[in-house]
Amino acid sequence: MIGKKTMTMTKTYWIERNKTINVDWSAKTVVYCRNIFKHINIPKGNVVMLGAAYSLALEVLVGQFGKRAMGVDKWNFGNHPQCITEDIFDLDDFDCAFVYCDVASFSHIAQQNPCPRLTAFEWSLRNLVPGGYCLTRMYGYSDQDMKSTQHLMRIVDKHNVTILPIPGNFRGSDWDSKDDVLLRKKG
């Protein structure tokens, strides 16, 4: 674990944090959910937004996949009817064709034990059906980010997945974080 530190990530913390980031229809999660399925074919199964927040990306997924799409968030800020209010530590396993893993913040990896982001990532890869995809942030820029990536890679190594880059047309845009990846379950 990297620098264990007790963090209190309350509902108020996330509301305040979200005031400083893009939580509108031009957010990266929304843009990815609108466009990623033009580049990948997913098998039958659930389409899940882990860390649904205000449910904008979830609404895009529901528009494309109907009842197959669902969100999971500890607080369901958007009060979306297809968002399950559940802590990632309590979420049951179920088959997923696609998971957008956006629980907690990348910078919080290994700052808590257990870590919500690592738990969500492990849940995502464990529940993918063969041919299913997980979209998430995998790499970073700082020394701390590189240590976080090592934690993620240990989880990748336990599952039968291939790491793929985000399709080329996403790169270079305003919402390209340059460290997002697609993970595809082999089989």
Mean pLDDT in runs of 10 for the chain (187 residues)?
45 58 75 91 97 91 98 90 95 98 79 86 97 91 80 94 82 63 94
Which amino acid, 2? Answer: I
Architecture of the 11-185 domain: 3-Layer(aba) Sandwich (3.40)
pLDDT of amino acid 6: 43
Residues in the chain: 187
The model's pTM is: 0.85
pLDDT of amino acid 167: 81
pLDDT of amino acid 50: 96
Contact 56/27 with Cβ under 8 angstroms? yes
pLDDT of amino acid 64: 97
* d(C-alpha 183, C-alpha 53), whole Å: 22
pLDDT of amino acid 138: 86
* d(C-alpha 81, C-alpha 152), whole Å: 31
Contact 23/53 with Cβ under 8 angstroms? yes
Domain regions of the chain by residue span = 11-185
